[in-house]
Structure formats: C-alpha cells, structure tokens
Amino acid sequence: MNISRELFEQAKKIIPGGVNSPVRTCSGVGAEPLFIARAGGPYIYSEDGHELIDYVMSWGPMILGHCHPAVNRALHDSLDRGTSFGAPCRPEIDLARLIVEALPGVDMVRMVNSGTEATMSALRLARGFTGRSMVLKFNGCYHGHVDPFLASAGSGAATLCIPGTPGVPQEVVSGTLLADYNSLDQVKEIFEKHGQDIAAIFVEPAAGNMGLVLPEQGFLEGLRKLADDFGALLVFDEVITGFRVSYSGAQGYYGIVPDITCLGKIIGGGLPVGAYGGKRIIMEKIAPCGDVYQAGTLSGNPLAMTAGYQTLKTLQTMDYLALENKTAELAQNLKKILEEKGIPVQLNALASIFTLFFSADPVTDFASAKKSDQNLFKKFYNQMRQQGIYLAPSGFECAFNSFAHGPGEWEKTLEAARKVRF
C-alpha cells in the first residue's frame, strides 16, 4: 500500500499535475511526491507514516522548525479572535515594526500574501517612482511568477528577452534586461546602453534559485553604484535571505542598503505572507498616500501577522552564528563524504543554507550551475530520501537547516550520505 501514490493519483484528477506548485511533483529527480500528514521540529511525516529529516523546511519559512511552541501558541490564541477582518489591526503594526527595526533599507513596509505579490508590487512601485519602464534581472534568479520576470535570454544580444513561458506576451518582456549573476561588466554595458530607461535592478543578494550562488566581492557594491549613477533603484529580493542569512537579512550581512526590499517565507512563519518595503520617500508613492496602486483582501490578516511576529520575536533570541557554523560543518562533511566516493562536488554555503553541486568547477552563475551533473544529484536525492533525509527535489534549489535540527539529525544525515552508491 502506498498512500502517497494513491493520493497523488486522486490529486492529479482535480489539481493540475496533482500539485499546487510545480517543483513539488519531484519529477525533476524521477520521484513521486510524498504527501505530508504532519511535521514537528526538524521532521516531516508522510501519509505512509515515514519520518524524514526535513531540509526543505517549506522552501525556507520554517527556520525555527515545524510547530514551534511559541508560534503555535500565539496562533491558537489569535484564531479565537478571528482570522481576517479586512480592516487594520494591531498585529499588522507589530510585525511591520519588527521588519522596519531589523532591515537597514526599510523605513516603511506593505504586507501582501506571497513573495510573488511582493516582487510584482515592488516592480510597479519602482516604475511608478522613477517614471521609467525597463528592469534588469539576472539569469538564474527567480522573483516569483511575475510576467516581466518570466523572461529568457533572447538570441544575439544577451540583454534582449523573449517570453520564458506561454501566456506572457513579447511586449511584456520587451522591457526586461538580462545579465549573468556576478557579471558587473555586463551590467555596466547594459546601463551604458539603456541606463536612462532602467527603473530598477532586481537581484537576489545571495541567489537561491539556481542552487545557492553567492555574490562575489564587489558585485553588490557595484550594483549599488550603478543604480545610483544612473538614477535606477536597487531592489533586493530577500524572499529567501530575509531573516535567514542574518536577522537583518542579506542587506545587513553584506552591508549594502537597497532602495526596496522584497520579503516572504520566514516573515509569515509558515502562513502566506509577503511584503515589500523601502525608503520612506519611495514607499509613500504607494496608494493610498501615493498614486501607485496596490491592494489585497487578505493582506495583513491577523493570523498571518501573528505567526510572522512570533517567529521574528523568537529569532531575536536565536544564535545565527552558531547555526551558520553547524551548517558549514554539516555541508563540509557531506562534501568530504562524496569526494571520498570519487564524486566531484562544489559546496556553496551561506548561514543556514547550502547547495552541493555535482561539478568539478566552481559555481558562480547560472551557466556554471547548469554544468553540474543532475543524474548524480538524482541518485543522491533518491537514496537520501529512501534513508529518511528529505532534500529539495532539484539540483537548483537549496538545503535549509533550522534551529530545530541538532547533532542527532546531522549525524543521521551524514550516515545516510555514507551509504549512497553512485
């Protein structure tokens, strides 16, 4: 009896692909999805009763671990007061205040309901504030399924785009410019050609959607200077890195202050939340104080605000450096185990995130990430999952450690890696 398989067959009849987000099918690694019944701490439990150590952690939100007592207690209390009012409520101020106090680049913040909604709104704001229409993003960076960002490099000049998916008209991506991550020369060239028309640079300050790719020395500083020199805005998509790489996000970790910051994942504590924030003069351009329109029925609902608030309050008491060190130790030991099997591995790690690329060459951008051996990753993923270690079902995602993982989980993870056969 395979309950997950049965549920997957049922789901496929009424939900496209049987999932509410494509990566969850696990088709990229030749596996079927596990249907999860419950989770607690660093563990998830499948409908078939299997316990697995979770390094997906809902793709980042669960940095405290699943069912953190303080978060769940706060949610239970909030539930009995109502789930959504469609009117201002105190928890919105409480969470907004924590975000503003934590992030150097955020004087004001608007809540939305997903990372996609955050980046979509931030793009409209950047265009409205600057009066310009073009936007520059980086190959391999993902900013949610916003039409102008679903663009692929066109032929010839790398900067001109074609739609990355059906349903996005050419004219929607004609204002999107593409460069390679960590390539300041390409960015300079693009600005020299289009500089007066570029509203914003959108960048993941540490990129988590091609596997983890870190900014090279001077890259973020260079983007900051180019944005300033040409009157464009610098937008940090911190949906993954916000409150993950440090309590002050990547902007605090790297010491670069963006004009707008996009958030999601951790600030919702597992409930649907996104946010975008920035300098006051920019944020006051947003309706109703400004004329750039954005709205949302469930934005700022008390339940999600409560989960986010309690998560951040708890994070204020946690030792990020200790978790960073433990994550580095785990990742380096995994790399060592694989190399002892004759498997070339590149490790990219930052704070509590890491990616093992099955490649002999360093991974510094999307092109080098794509050179990694996905067949080796597939073998690794499936044999680790069979041994109760739940990794992201793609070689272009990250592993997320948490404050709930401990020596027992890390040792079990290493033991499982030792038994993988390639």
Catalytic residue positions, numbered:
142, 237, 265
CB closer to ligand KE4, 24 vs 194: 24
Q: Nearest approach, Cβ of 24 to ligand KE4 (angstroms)?
A: 6
- As given in the structure block, the two tokens for residue 119 are 């980046």
Binding site for ligand KE4 (CB under 6 A): 21, 23, 59, 114-116, 119, 142-144, 204, 208-209, 237, 239-240, 264, 274, 397
- As given in the structure block, the two tokens for residue 379 are 């073998």
Q: Nearest approach, Cβ of 143 to ligand KE4 (angstroms)?
A: 5
CB closer to ligand KE4, 59 vs 219: 59
Q: Nearest approach, Cβ of 216 to ligand KE4 (angstroms)?
A: 19
CB closer to ligand KE4, 123 vs 343: 123
Prior bond of 288 cis (ω within 30°): yes
Q: Nearest approach, Cβ of 360 to ligand KE4 (angstroms)?
A: 25
> Cα separation of 5 and 160, whole Å?
43
Positive/negative CA dihedral, 157, 161, 164, 167: negative
Q: Nearest approach, Cβ of 240 to ligand KE4 (angstroms)?
A: 5
Cα 408 → chain centroid: 27
CB closer to ligand KE4, 301 vs 343: 301
Q: Nearest approach, Cβ of 129 to ligand KE4 (angstroms)?
A: 20
Q: Taking a C-beta distance cutoff of 8 angstroms, is the pair 236, 264 a contact? A: no
Beta-bridged to residue 43, according to DSSP, are 40, 53
CB closer to ligand KE4, 59 vs 377: 59
> Cα separation of 82 and 340, whole Å?
55
> Cα separation of 421 and 43, whole Å?
24
Distances (CA, A) of 120 to 147, 162, 323, 330: 9, 19, 32, 36
Token pair 């060190």 is found at 325
Closest to 287 (Cα-Cα) out of 164, 153, 125, 165: 125
Backbone angles phi, psi at 52, to 5 degrees: -130, 145
Q: Nearest approach, Cβ of 151 to ligand KE4 (angstroms)?
A: 15
> Cα separation of 29 and 76, whole Å?
37
Q: Which residues contact 71 (CB under 8 A, 6 or more apart)?
A: 64, 269, 270, 307, 310, 311, 314
CB closer to ligand KE4, 8 vs 343: 8
Nearest residue to ligand KE4 by CB is 115
CB closer to ligand KE4, 333 vs 374: 374
Distances (CA, A) of 276 to 63, 89, 246, 273, 338: 20, 19, 18, 11, 40
